[in-house]
Amino acid sequence: MTILVTGGAGFIGSNFVLDWFAQGAGPVINLDKLTYAGNPANLHALKDNPEHVFVHGDICDRELVRSLLERHAPRAIVHFAAESHVDRSIHGPGDFVQTNILGTFTLLEEVRSWLEKQAPSRREDFRFLHVSTDEVFGSLAPHDPPFKESTPFAPNSPYAASKAAADHLVRAYHHTYGLPTLTVNCSNNYGPYQFPEKLIPLMILNAITHKPLPVYGEGGNVRDWLYVQDHCTAIRRVLERGRVGESYNVGGYNQKTNLEVVNAICALLDEARPNRKSPHSMLISFVKDRPGHDRRYAMDATKIAIQLEWTPSESFDSGLRKTVAWYLDNPDWVAHVTSGAYRQWIEKNYAKRGEA
């Protein structure tokens, strides 16, 4: 009953693997390249668990992927591995094309040829679950209806384009070769273990160290926030009951402007870490906008609610409270991820940005 997880040392992948073991769902082979975003410390709780096998390697390495399939004969692949940060894709799109497109292609090719050699019953039961994003659908105007699974793709950043390409390949491998694929397109995740290049952890960590809170543009862009554990539940549900060849939109029903999110973080920190001189919101600083910044994302998650009876269980208020508490309670994790290379990224992305 082994599954192969890719990118299981990253933010969503590690939450998924930890949840998987908490459910007693079976052995996991965890293939991760440990880029700047991959962190073995996220998996510390599994260090003595013989059912968790960590493999340090690249999804673009065909021989490695082939040998893992042959050796472990997984019943499913849950594919998280990706370059995932839009701002980094603007500074340098090459790694995004390599991992997100060619890496997904490598996995699909190796799975296709491995499955051909398997017995029909194993072929039938196997699943390739691809984790994708709402960003493939482009940007919504303020009053547009949310994205459905049938919304045409219109990716705007190099990151979104690379994920859209991967989604198309997954779809084509089902349509052409009958590969038993499933795709999940989800909205912005937040929660424990998120690398602090993304909005919510960046703002929490800057605020507690009294650094400016760099809001792009005027802070009116809208995202639909999904607590990471709700996403993990949705993935498990799609893996168990999803219809082969289909995609499922997953959203949190929590549309917020970035300024609302940052103000909510500041209010929680005013409670938890009161600053006698001024409220944390005084640190908000409007900086030059992200090029091509998508205005709004919102997911219509009716299909997964009706077909698979999944809805999110966390509200934004409760999820954000848990998230802020987690970052305050884990200073060692924070110290580890904010050293060295992280500082260089902050310098690169923010130093020359100037004011909005």
Which residues are catalytically annotated?
A: 134-135, 159
| 319 forms part of the interface with ligand NAD (CB under 6 A) | no
Q: How far apart are CA 36 and CA 7, in angstroms?
A: 12
Binding mask 166-205 for ligand NAD (x = CB under 6 A): --------------------x-xx-----x----------
SS3 312: coil
Q: Which residues contact 260 (CB under 8 A, 6 or more apart)?
A: none
Can residue 256 be called a binding residue for ligand NAD (CB under 6 A)?
A: no
CA distances from 195 to 38, 56, 342 (A): 9, 19, 10
Using CB under 6 A, pick the residue from 59, 129, 161, 238 that binds ligand NAD.
Answer: 59
Residue of this chain nearest to ligand NAD (CB atom):
10
Q: At what angle do helices 228-241 and 11-22 cross, to 10 degrees?
A: 60
Nearer to ligand TDX, 139 or 233 (CB): 139
Helices 104-116 and 62-72 cross at an angle (nearest 10°) of: 40
Residue 164: name its binding partner from ligand NAD, ligand TDX, none (Cβ under 5 to 8 Å by kind). Answer: none
Q: Is 258 in the site for ligand TDX (CB under 6 A)?
A: yes
Strand partners, 56: 32
* CA distance linking residue 244 with residue 105, whole number of Å: 19
Picked from ligand TDX, ligand NAD, none, the partner binding residue 99 (CB below 5 to 8 A depending on kind) is ligand NAD
Close Cβ partners of 307 (under 8 Å, ≥ 6 residues apart): 241, 242, 243, 248
The identity of residue 47, as a single letter, is K
* Interface of this chain with ligand NAD, residues 278 to 317, rule: CB under 6 A: none
> By C-beta, is 68 or 258 nearer to ligand TDX?
258
Q: How many angstroms from the chain centroid is the CA of residue 142?
A: 24
Please answer whether residues 90 and 67 qualify as being in contact, where contact means their C-beta atoms are separated by less than 8 angstroms. no
Q: What is the DSSP string of 4-71?
A: EEESTTSHHHHHHHHHHHHTT---EEEEE---TT--GGGGGGGTT-TTEEEEE--TT-HHHHHHHHHH
CA distance 12 to 10: 6
58 binds ligand NAD, rule: CB under 6 A? yes
Read off the DSSP letter of residue 277: S
Q: How far is the CB of 355 from ligand NAD (least distance, A)?
A: 27
Among 52, 223, 236, 256, binds ligand TDX (CB under 6 A): 223
Binding residue for ligand TDX, selected from 214, 242, 252, 319, defined by CB under 6 A: 214
Among 33, 79, 85, 130, binds ligand TDX (CB under 6 A): 85
Q: By CB under 6 A, what part of segment 15-34 binds ligand NAD?
A: 31-34
Site for ligand NAD contains 258 (CB under 6 A): no
- Look at residues 326, 170, 310 and name the one whose alpha carbon lies nearest to residue 226: 310
For position 202 contacting ligand TDX by CB under 6 A, the verdict is yes
**Segment contacting ligand TDX (CB under 6 A): 27-35, 83-91, 313-321, 330-338?**
83-91
- Which stretch, 31-39, 43-51, 80-88, 115-123, contacts ligand TDX (CB under 6 A)? 80-88
Tokens of 109: 């090719």
Q: Does 84 bind ligand TDX (CB under 6 A)?
A: yes
Q: Rule CB under 6 A: is residue 183 a binding residue for ligand TDX?
A: no
State the greatest distance between any 2 C-alpha atoms of the chain, in Å, as a whole number.
Answer: 69
Per-residue contact track with ligand TDX, 124 to 163, x per CB under 6 A? Answer: ---------x-x----------------------------
User: What is the contact surface with ligand TDX in residues (CB under 6 A)?
Assistant: 84-86, 133, 135, 188, 198-199, 202, 214-216, 221, 223, 258, 290
User: What is the contact surface with ligand NAD in residues (CB under 6 A)?
Assistant: 6-7, 9-13, 31-35, 37-38, 58-60, 80-82, 84, 99, 103, 131, 133, 163, 186, 188-189, 195
